[in-house]
Structure 1
Amino acid sequence: MRESSGDRITRIGISFLLLLISISCLAPVINILSVSFSGKQAVETGKVLLWPVDATLQSYSALFEGTRVLASLWNGVVMTVGGVIISMVFTICAAYPLSKGYFYGRRTFTLLLLFTMVFTGGLIPTYLVVKSLGLIDSYWAIWLPGAVSTYNMLIMRSYFESMEPEIEEAARIDGCKEWTLLFRIILPLSMPVMATLILFYGVGYWNSFMNVLIYINSTEKYTITVLIQQMIASQSLLTEALVNDSQAMLLVPEGIRSAGIIVLILPMVLIYPFLQKYFVKGVMLGSVKG
């Protein structure tokens, strides 16, 4: 079917609008990246826009030598990996039975889960519950209260429901029990939605900030998100990052802040391309029913 002139103009207009939106999203990140690689004088005089001026790695050197960024990175990895594993296990265990029409109480349990999307217990009651369980200053205080996202569970449930029933029937004829069916048939066929939810949960845990401040008391357990926030808010912490006078003469706090922000976002940027091929397919197929 031939494209009309009106459709062509509309397509070009939408493409141009999306291009402007993309540039508006990328420009601040590129500017921060450029500042992190630029020299002190260029940053102080505002010469840095979208390209490094007087390129140097001094900001990154000061960041890794003068702050706890490596320890915070490791803490972030531990919290993210542990949280993703726990959340995926709970999400699968909730979504699989709810996807079966013969599951007794399916509608009731679904409504109870949907209720949590509208009403929550609130910060203070949640904190009191976490404290009574002895989870304060532990990553379990972050993992357990948010172990299941109802939205993510509904995506996975819808994906399970979209599978052809003949697959399950053939497996049961071959003698598959429920757990064997789930782990050897259903989950291998659910890689698109699983990769999508791993990305959702991973980004959520990696960027977790407020929960870490509320539940984690030991500074050595802080993640990089909290460390970068403290660097932005505290001038003294940035001053400590300048491990010697020569660095202080070559660096500006804004460069160290920018380097910290780049280190914060880099892991997710590196992981996303490996999951991108599953991302759109997982969301679209998982939202056919619901």
Structure 2
Amino acid sequence: MKSTWDEKIFYTINYMFLGLAALSCVLPLLHIISLSLSSYQAIVSGHVTLWPQGWTIEAYKALYSGTNMVKAFSNSIVITVVGVVLSMWFTIMAAYPLAKKYFYARRFFTLAIVFTMLFGTPLIPLFLIVKSLGLLDTYGAIWMPGLISAFNMLVLRTFFMNVPEELEEAARMDGCGEWRLLTRIILPLSLPVLATLTLFYGVGYWNSFLHVLMFINDSTRMNLAVMIQQMVASQSILQELNSVRPDDLQQMTPESIKSAGVIVLIVPMLIVYPFLQKYFVKGVMIGAIKG
């Protein structure tokens, strides 16, 4: 079907707007990458824009050898992987029964969860609760407060409610129990929403900042986000590098080191996203019921 002139104009304006929005996100990223890979002379002279000048990886070498970046990176991986597994498990366990009409007091528990979205826990009571549970200086203090996102749980609950009842009835007629129904029927059909929520939780845990600052005092347990923030906000990273690699310090600028730290922080999520992106556009529910 041929598009009308009005539709063509609308599509053109839409594509222009989306293109500008994409550029506003991509151009700053390209500039940061260029700074992290450019030489000292190019950065000081102000010639670095969207393409590295005088290619060098000295900033990344300095982060690797002169800071605790490797330890912070491994801490972030532990926080993210364990946190995502726990959060997804408990989110599924909360959303599945609330999606069933025969679950007693379903409306009450749903409203109680929605209430937590309107009124969050203040920081001081949250800190006192974590301290009373003995979770200070442990990753449990990071996982526990955000174990279940009310918004994510409601999204998953809505998806479970839209699963055709005919599938469940057919499975039960074949002798499928509740647990097997969830793991063998419901969850495989829910891969798109599960992938999306996994990404949401993963980004949240990977970028954990406030809770790490509040509850973790041991510097060896700090994650990458906190280390990068401290590096960007102060010159302590340069002093540390000065004591470790004084001969190479003249080849680097604060901008290149900070940019390298930012790239190290965001690259893992950029790598993970393509593996989950296909589930965002693929409707595995299509064709689930035949006849």
- Answer yes or no: is 1:47 the counterpart of 2:47: yes
d(CA) in 2 for partners of 1:126, 1:236: 30
Question: 1:288 is matched with which residue?
Answer: none
Question: 1:71 is matched with which residue?
Answer: 71
Q: 8 Å contact 2:208–2:225 — kept in the other structure?
A: yes
TM normalised by structure 1 equals 0.95
Deviation at 1:121, TM superposition (A): 2.3
TM normalised by structure 2 equals 0.95
Question: 2:188 is matched with which residue?
Answer: 188
Q: Give identity over the alignment, percent.
A: 54
Compare 273-282 and 42-51 and name the one that shifted more.
273-282
Question: 2:289 is matched with which residue?
Answer: none
Correspondence 1:86-105 to 2 at 5 A:
86-105=86-105
d(CA) in 2 for partners of 1:247, 1:200: 39
d(CA) in 1 for partners of 2:195, 2:223: 24
Q: Which runs of 5+ in 1 are unaligned?
A: 286-290
Q: What stretches of structure 1 move > 3 A for 4+ residues in a row?
A: none
- Answer yes or no: is 1:209 the counterpart of 2:209: yes
Question: 2:127 is matched with which residue?
Answer: 127
Q: Which runs of 5+ in 2 are unaligned?
A: 287-291
Question: 1:251 is matched with which residue?
Answer: 252
The one-letter code sitting in structure 1 at the alignment partner of 2:44 is E
- Answer yes or no: is 1:267 the counterpart of 2:268: yes
d(CA) in 2 for partners of 1:124, 1:113: 21
d(CA) in 2 for partners of 1:278, 1:155: 16
- Answer yes or no: is 1:276 the counterpart of 2:254: no
d(CA) in 2 for partners of 1:143, 1:3: 51
Deviation at 1:280, TM superposition (A): 4.4
Deviation at 1:238, TM superposition (A): 2.0
Deviation at 1:234, TM superposition (A): 2.0
Q: 8 Å contact 1:239–1:253 — kept in the other structure?
A: no
**Superimposed CA distance per residue, residues 208-236 of structure 1 (whole angstroms, 9 cap, x where no aligned partner):** 10110001110000000000011112213
d(CA) in 2 for partners of 1:158, 1:88: 15
Compare 242-251 and 175-184 and name the one that shifted more.
242-251
Deviation at 1:258, TM superposition (A): 0.4
Deviation at 1:53, TM superposition (A): 0.5
Cα RMSD, aligned residues only: 1.4
**Superimposed CA distance per residue, residues 126-150 of structure 1 (whole angstroms, 9 cap, x where no aligned partner):** 1111110000111101111111101
* SS of residue paired to 1:100: coil
Deviation at 1:241, TM superposition (A): 2.2
Question: 1:168 is matched with which residue?
Answer: 168
d(CA) in 2 for partners of 1:112, 1:144: 18
d(CA) in 1 for partners of 2:54, 2:241: 21
The one-letter code sitting in structure 1 at the alignment partner of 2:24 is S
* SS of residue paired to 2:190: helix
Deviation at 1:82, TM superposition (A): 0.7
d(CA) in 1 for partners of 2:93, 2:66: 44
Q: 8 Å contact 2:241–2:249 — kept in the other structure?
A: no
d(CA) in 1 for partners of 2:179, 2:167: 15
d(CA) in 2 for partners of 1:188, 1:32: 40
